[in-house]
Amino acid sequence: MTAQVEGSVTNGRMQEITGEHSKDITAVLQSLVRHGLLTQQNQRRWASYRVAGDSPQFDRLAGLSAEVLALLPLAEPARKNKKLPVPQLKIVVGQLCAGRWLSTSELAALVDRDADKLQTRFLTAMVKDGVLELRYPDVRNRPDQAYRTRANPLS
């Protein structure tokens, strides 16, 4: 989002905004370059990044934190293959949710799927099967509901 608003972004600028470590920011920026969302100008310390053309994917990823964007490599199989078999997509979602809470919109952006369909077709079933747990189990339709892989998934 910063690259879009300011025209370009650098690691130093992202450190000012997020407070994240430069190594973590570099990993996220390089991941965005690999996924075709940003283009890199110059190298090393002088590198800057611009939004790559009119990327519709960029809009979906724009609101995600650096921590969530760092998960893009895990989500790559789902992003590359829109017809990924259901069991494989469930594995990717399980890996993304391992040890962290992710909302439906974050998961949908990472795997490049429609949020409503992802929730009705996959997330609800994964909770029912005991693979995922809800952050707020008493209020299933909370707007800020999030999912995490259960420590000991049920068989």
Q: How is the chain split into domains, by residue range?
A: 2-69, 72-149
pLDDT band of residue 54 (cuts 50, 70, 90) is low
* CATH number of the domain located at residue range(s) 2-69 in this protein: 1.10.10.10
Question: Do 2-69 and 72-149 show the same overall fold?
Answer: yes
- Tens digits of per-residue pLDDT, 106-140? 999 999 898 889 999 999 999 999 999 999 999 88
User: Radius of gyration of the chain from Cα atoms?
Assistant: 17
Looking at residue 96, what is its pLDDT?
96
* CATH number of the domain located at residue range(s) 72-149 in this protein: 1.10.10
pLDDT band of residue 26 (cuts 50, 70, 90) is confident
DSSP codes of every residue in 92-140: HHHHHTTTS-EEHHHHHHHHT--HHHHIIIIIHHHHHTTSEEESSTT-T
- Rounded Cα distance between 56 and 63, Å, is 13
Better pLDDT: 54 or 76 = 76
